[in-house]
Amino acid sequence: AVVAALVRAPAPAPEGRALRAALITSLILFGAGGLIGFMIQGSNVKIPAHYHGCIVGVTLALMGLAYALLPRLGFGQVDPRLARVQSWMYGGGQLLHIVGLVWSGGYGVQRKVAGAEQTLRTFEQVAGMGLMGLGGLVAVLGGVLFAVIVMKAMLRRPLPAATVSTGET
């Protein structure tokens, strides 16, 4: 129902685009995480791909909620352009992260194995884990951008209505 409403809805005003981006990326990641759950066989890195997709889907929804609530809680508006970029950066990075994990898991990379014990023998295993790392880096940058956007909005409190001068005497 939410996806159908998104498809039928008119384009949002510029200030609503960040919220729509957060919702879309949230739905994509939560859905991808759920679908990956059906592909799990054995103990490989498809398992963390599944829960990273689901958890980050919820995280993106909460990021969008933070963007919507900040002005209602007395803080400044978030920069809508940066907030939209942040949702796509964080969501896109996490999508690359989980695709890399699913790819690696399909080629036998085991979970909960680190260091010298985790041997990546084939090009496919190395490429998948490389994609996972690249996606993780992009997502971390998106997370840092979220913190910057929220801090800027919290430091930019609007003036109370009673103290705003109208210029009339």
Residue type for position 35: L
Residue 162 has pLDDT above 80, yes or no: no
In whole angstroms, give the CA distance from residue 105 to residue 15.
40
CATH number at 145 reads 1.20.120
169: in domain: no
133-156 pLDDT, tens digit per residue, is 999 999 999 999 999 999 999 998
What pLDDT sits at residue 114? Answer: 67
165: in domain: no
91-117 pLDDT, tens digit per residue, is 999 999 999 999 998 888 887 776 666
6: in domain: no
- Which residues neighbour 70 within 8 Å (Cβ) at sequence distance 6 or greater? 76, 77, 78, 150, 153, 154
164: in domain: no
76: in domain: yes
Q: How confident is the model at residue 161 (pLDDT cuts 50, 70, 90)?
A: low
149: in domain: yes
What pLDDT sits at residue 103? Answer: 93
What pLDDT sits at residue 169? Answer: 55
2: in domain: no
What pLDDT sits at residue 160? Answer: 64
86: in domain: yes
Range of the domain at 145: 43-111+125-157
The domain tally of the chain equals: 1
In whole angstroms, give the CA distance from residue 146 to residue 63.
8
28-42 pLDDT, tens digit per residue, is 999 999 999 998 888
